[in-house]
Amino acid sequence: MSNVFVIDSDYKPLNPVHPARARRLLTQGKAAVYRRYPFTIVLKRVVDQPEVHPLRLKLDPGSKTTGIALVNDTNGNVVFAAELEHRGHAIKDSLDSRRGVRRRRRNRKTRYRKPRFQNRRRKKGWLPPSLESRLATILTWVARLCRSAPITALSQELVKFDMQLMENPDITGVEYQQGTLQGYEVREYLLEKWERTCAYCGKQDVPLQIEHIHPRANGGTHRISNLTLACEPCNSAKGTQDIAVFLAKKPDVLKRILAQVKKPLKDASAVNATRFALLERLKACGLPVECGSGGLTKYNRTTRGLAKTHWLDATCVGKSTPSAISHKGVVPLLITANGHGRRQMCVPDKYGFPEKHKQRRKTFLGYRTGDMVKAITPKGTFEGRIAIRHRPSFRLGKVDIHPKYMRCIHQADGYEYTQKGVRNAPPHV
């Protein structure tokens, strides 16, 4: 288990403690459980001028999952880790279905109206709702963690590769394959530019090598515009031939490669609007924000011998990453964003025919859908999220349980939590 967050009775965040220490504080009655997820205890006294060790909150934002890690920069300990599963896709799906329903209804019911065209304006900095939700969930968690741990700095992965580092000819000229930081940036850039395929045969999911279009032996340079990716057989087949000779029988491939080579650097680096918007909002939190590139993250992760998971990626974001990372015993908290339910009052069947009508009330007998409960019943003990029914038994997983057996352990907050052993980590990359 990861460390336990501690706050004092003035809600001041203190140093996170080992679970054993927390258990002792709880059994001695010096503290009480404040929050279940992430596990936080509250001391029953005020600590004047506590001696806290500052922590750094590191984020690796992704489209589906965001890695979160709390790292102590001075000793390299990972204090807490989480993986936040976004619901951007769910939002997109429900907006699409709403659009479909509306379209059908308006076609059915309304007189002809002239199409309204380009008569709406969006605010500056507007993002589609699916992306907005990703930002909002990340910011929610930044704020939550700042309330329960002494966080003094933030780190965020901003771009996939560092353009400046690559365009500097001093750096691109040397050791591009020797595992230096520049090598990683170049590699990430080429993978993105050549879409992770062999330029010559188009194979995917094979180990790719960096390949000189104009061969080194004939005076080709290490410049990024002379590099591409090729699988091992293609690379050795080409050898020191000129590309025009090697691809003499495949003129269309030759044409495509030469066209792709000329594409300027800027086009290839898809600027991710969400990440920049996130940076702006993180800066507004008032803490210093450090930015890192994906190439740097990969370099840090590989040199520190860590596996590829979202939370370990987050641990390795940025230049501030300590030279040795210790994450013994840290199990990431898996957080899934589920939203806060719907406002839909009428539930139609699959043909759109109104079937059920919901009650306006969201709570029943003091519970609401999404509450995490522990139920000790004559049939056994159950734990999980409930779905309320307007009858004296609620759904918990696949069983119906009367609320008299239930004890709420975490009130619905739009997220689902799991903390079991480490999820099957993909092999070391």
Q: Which residues bind Zn ion (CB under 5 A)?
A: 198, 200-201, 203, 231, 234
The DSSP secondary-structure symbol of 54 reads: P
Strands 5-7 and 40-43: parallel
What's the CA gap between 70 and 358, in Å, rounded?
A: 42
Minimum gap (Å) between residue 253 Cβ and Zn ion: 10
Closer Cβ to Zn ion, 59 or 213, answer by number:
213
Residue among 267, 269, 134, 123 at smallest CA distance from 189: 269
Closer to Zn ion by CB, 253 or 277: give it: 253
Residue 258 CB, nearest approach to Zn ion (Å): 17
Helix (H) / strand (E) element for 346: namely: strand 346-348
Secondary structure in 3-state letters for 249-313: CCHHHHHHHHHHHHCCHHHHCCCCHHHHHHHHHHHCCCCCEEEEEHHHHHHHHHHCCCCCCHHHH
Output the smallest distance, CB 178 to Zn ion, in A.
Answer: 23
Instruction: Name the minimum Å distance from CB 203 to Zn ion.
Output: 5
The least distance separating Zn ion from the CB of residue 250, rounded to whole angstroms, comes to 12
Complex with Zn ion: residue 203 or 391, whichever CB lies closer: 203
- Our CB check for Zn ion shows the closer of 200 and 394 to be 200
For the record, the structure tokens of 422 come out as 């480490």
- The answer for 210, left when phi > 0, alpha when psi is -120 to 50, beta otherwise, is beta
Distance in Å, CB of 263 to Zn ion, minimum = 20
Return the ∠ at Cα 114 (arms to 110 and 118), rounded to 5°: 120
| Cβ contacts of 142-145, under 8 Å, gap ≥ 24 | 142/57, 142/59, 142/282, 142/285, 143/285, 144/38, 145/38, 145/57, 145/68, 145/70, 145/80
Minimum CB distance to Zn ion smaller for 104 or for 250: 250
Q: Which residue has the tokens 């365009």?
A: 167
Nearer to Zn ion, 198 or 224 (CB): 198
Beta bridge partners of 67: 60, 83
CA distance 183 to 173: 10
**What pairs with residue 78 in β-bridges?**
71
Of 232 and 383, CB closest to Zn ion: 232
**Toward Zn ion, which CB reaches closer, 166 or 231?**
231
CB 252 to Zn ion: min, Å: 16
